[in-house]
Structure 1
Amino acid sequence: MGKVLVPTLLADFGIQITCWGISAFLQTEKFYDLVGLTSFILCTFLSLYKPWDENSIWANGKNPNAPHRVIHSRQIIASGTTSVWAAYLGLFLFSRALKHGDKRFDKIKKMPGLFLVYWLVQGIWVALAALPVYMTNSIPASVHPDLGLQDYFGIALWGTGFAFELIANYQKQKWRKEIGRDYKRSFISTGLWSLTRHPNYFGECLLWFGSYLFCSSAFSAAMESPVPIMSHWMSRLAVFSPMFVTILITRVSGIPLLERENDRRLKDVVAYWKYKKATSMFVPTLPRRNVE
């Protein structure tokens, strides 16, 4: 497994450090999110095809003497869903950064040392969030069990989470376009945003829990194979994927930053404070009524 994870993670942090150097020189943050999401796709590709391995799937067409390798349907689905999510979110965030910039980096992008910390944290995000995907791709197809109930439940969770993120982002974009110049004194409270103040972030966390469940159904087989491919501690490490994403979003860089910004921007808007009291911060629930 280390033959897959180590090159994959080295590529991840190599990308972050290289792009930090370019961005620090140009003093721009516009490529930050795009590089992060592109790293997901590249690392997923590397973990699946292993171009450095002469016996990998990548080598099938190049080395006629190499044993034929196949890809299990679990690996295809896990890699495909991760790539679809990364491509969508990368383009969405990049287009937003081009239009509006990213206030997080107004001062930081002029401080190379501190700017590097943000790029390294992004590398950790890429490494941990998709860790179950990298791990399941490191398990030979012959060891993977058939798709079962846990897989179907996991992919259903992923689909629900992705739909939440997609719809919530679309609804906010549409609202912001309609509200126009009044954006700075208004807030969205319709659609999914009536059920939670951060439906896009809820969807993000949910899809990674689904991805973990889907990928981890192969871990037991990997540990119990005649030549164990995975240790028990490695299988437990994978659960940090959805936990890390959830903690990062709810406690560090996602919701806390937006909540503080909204409280500052809308401090005199009475309707906003009523909405905040009536609406769940994270998990979707029906809004509470008669809130004063």
Structure 2
Amino acid sequence: MNPSYFSTVGMVLAPTLLADFGIQVTGWSISSFLQTEKFYDLAGSTSFILCTFLSLYKPWDANSIWAADDKTVTVLRAVHPRQLIASGTTVAWAAYLGSFLFSRALKHGDKRFDNVKRFPGRFLIYWLVQGIWVALTALPVYMTNSIPRSVHPDLGLQDYIGFALWVSGFAFEVVANYQKQKWRKEVGRDYKRSFISTGLWSLSRHPNYFGECLLWFGSYLFCSSAFSAALASPAPIMLHWMSRLAVFSPIFVTFLITRVSGIPLLERENDRRLKDVVAYWKYKKATSMFVPTFSRRSTE
């Protein structure tokens, strides 16, 4: 690529996103042949981890990243603390969620794919959508990793607030998932006639999803503090449309979860499964669907 025609960020995003969709196509090929959905979420988390690594270390650019001298590998370009934290949090989240969903898929499968995994063309659409999800969700991370260390401003208040939001969201997601797993084990076969309404689930009907959306808002806030400096640089580091696109990351995640594939599917499933359970409808009426609130639940 000729640097005079591409911004620094654009030159990093291109191979990073190419790797993302390469993983999806490879995962689809194997899963379609085996007619299984069990590797779907694992491929998603792998894409997040690999794309984060590529955007940070850029292994294709040997002159600016790595050099081998005898048997010693030396990092020639140091990275900014903002990049390390943004990357580390993304990898931690992807490793956690990927292992959690993969383990669940091995035990229970995934009903979303029951009617499509035997049809390669339709199955491919799900994998390509996952590629878009990986690309847009962590786009601010890939972009901040693409900005040279020398351009990054020092960590400031915006970074600390963003990191605090990420930690809060991640804790919410992990604790909510743990509480639900524990509840599932306790109720056993009564699961189909029961629902969880304790712990974080007493504050929200979907606290795990709230946590995930919150952490990505925090990640965007943390990463975006470097965008203004990149746009102000005389070198072609970042284009204006890229910084505007990055803000869609947390918006996209929230829209996907609250309007498309997360909460709507679970709400419909719970309404069908628990249609005759009076306590469930009381819980649903008294408890916030998404944002945690202290409800005034009827004790009658």
Aligned to 1:193: 201
Distance of 1:38 and 1:62 partners within structure 2: 30
SS at match of 2:234: coil
Sequence identity (%): 82
Q: How many positions carry a matched residue from both structures? A: 290
CA contact (8 A) 1:161 1:207 kept: yes
Distance of aligned partners of 1:12 and 1:278 in 2 relative to their CA distance in 1, 3 Å threshold: same
Match of 1:78 among 82, 86, 106: 86
Match of 1:108 among 116, 131, 136: 116
Once the two structures are overlaid, the 10-residue window that deviates more, 132-141 or 220-229, is 220-229
Match of 1:174 among 179, 182, 193: 182
Amino acid at match of 1:143: V
Aligned to 2:22: 14
- Alignment partner of 1:146 is 2:151: no
Amino acid at match of 2:181: Q
Per-residue CA deviation, residues 127-185 of structure 1 (Å, 9 max, x unaligned), is 00000000000000011000000000000000000000000000000011011110111
- Alignment partner of 1:117 is 2:125: yes
Once the two structures are overlaid, the 10-residue window that deviates more, 164-173 or 281-290, is 281-290
SS at match of 2:152: coil
Per-residue CA deviation, residues 44-65 of structure 1 (Å, 9 max, x unaligned), is 00000101112232x234699x
Amino acid at match of 2:11: K
Distance of 1:127 and 1:227 partners within structure 2: 25
- Alignment partner of 1:68 is 2:95: no
Amino acid at match of 1:101: G
Distance of aligned partners of 1:265 and 1:55 in 2 relative to their CA distance in 1, 3 Å threshold: same
Deviation at 1:203, TM superposition (A): 0.3
Amino acid at match of 2:281: W
Match of 1:264 among 256, 264, 272: 272
Aligned to 1:163: 171
Distance of 2:23 and 2:202 partners within structure 1: 39
> What are structure 1's unaligned runs of at least 5 residues?
none
Distance of 2:75 and 2:280 partners within structure 1: 63
SS at match of 1:110: coil
CA contact (8 A) 1:163 1:203 kept: yes
- Alignment partner of 1:220 is 2:228: yes
Aligned to 1:280: 288
User: What TM-score results when the alignment is normalised by the length of structure 2?
Assistant: 0.94
Distance of aligned partners of 1:69 and 1:274 in 2 relative to their CA distance in 1, 3 Å threshold: same
Distance of aligned partners of 1:99 and 1:219 in 2 relative to their CA distance in 1, 3 Å threshold: same
CA contact (8 A) 1:16 1:122 kept: yes
Deviation at 1:68, TM superposition (A): 2.9
Deviation at 1:12, TM superposition (A): 0.3
CA contact (8 A) 1:274 1:291 kept: no
Give the aligned CA root-mean-square deviation in angstroms.
1.6
Once the two structures are overlaid, the 10-residue window that deviates more, 226-235 or 87-96, is 226-235
Aligned to 1:26: 34
SS at match of 1:60: strand
Deviation at 1:290, TM superposition (A): 3.5
Distance of 1:183 and 1:108 partners within structure 2: 27
Distance of 1:189 and 1:60 partners within structure 2: 55
